[in-house]
Amino acid sequence: MWFAKLSAARALVCVAALLSVIGLSACPYVYEPRHDYPSEYPVAEPIGECANLNGTFENAGTGLNKSKTASALSDAILLSTLMLAPGLIPSDTQATTLRISGPALGLLEIEALSAGQTVAHVSMHSAPTVDGFIRTTPFANFVCFGGTVAITNDPVTDSKEKGKYLVIVRFRRAKDGSLIVARERVYQDYIYGVDIARQWFRFQQVSVKPLPVVQ
């Protein structure tokens, strides 16, 4: 799995450093991660500040291994684990696709489907403020900026560093209809700066079958 390991030890850090993770730096001295979006999947035209996530997508995606080429694949990952809180999908059910509507009017609708039937449904509201988004319960809200949709996942603890990493997931829509997703683990230290590990994933859009013609 490719990690874009970035160190901000050389940069000055302010209290609002975490806001720069989603592109809204409240401090002009914060080190901002370089833009390393996989160029092989050109971004589709956004809707204002938001990516257009409308569509149905395969739940099983693939990692983009930038250590070789952008098209190299690594271990599979489930879109449902990036968009839905743990436990929403019954443990004895395997979601095969996710149907997404929005964002529209501050609302993002997400349905997990199995054999064409809805097994989990979430209505996610836009965070009223960026600070509110950072501090919100994981999977509870989203925020749009620069043609992306971002949500938070459960924090993770690094066993070596013994520190807790904020997890932010950013969604973009590619021109081929697929979702290109960046999962970022962010650790802030007020002495050494902000450390970010980023992984890229791709989830293909499910083709919509035309309705049968009535004879």
Domain positions in the chain? 4-203
Give per-residue pLDDT as tens, 137-194: 899 899 888 888 999 888 877 666 556 778 889 999 999 999 999 998 877 666 666 6
List of the chain residues with pLDDT < 50: 1-34, 67-74, 211
**Taking a C-beta distance cutoff of 8 angstroms, is the pair 27, 17 a contact?**
yes
pLDDT of residue 207: 78
Between β-strands 97-104 and 55-58, what pairing exists: parallel, antiparallel or unpaired?
antiparallel
Element (H, E) at 131: helix 130-135
Cβ count within 10 A of residue 197 = 18
CB neighbour list of residue 73: distance below 8 Å, 6 or more residues apart: 62, 63, 64, 65
SS (H, E, C) 1-54: CCCEEEECCCCCCCCCHHHHHHCCCCCCCCCCCCCCCCCCCCECCCECCECCCC
Res 203: pLDDT: 96
What is the pLDDT, as a whole number, of residue 205?
96
Q: What is the pLDDT of residue 21?
A: 41
* Alpha-carbon distances of 185 from 58, 112, 139, 182, rounded to whole Å: 24, 25, 15, 10
How far, in Å, CA of 3 to CA of 19, rounded?
21
Our measurement of the distance from residue 80's CA atom to the centroid of its chain's CA atoms, rounded to an integer in Å, reads 11
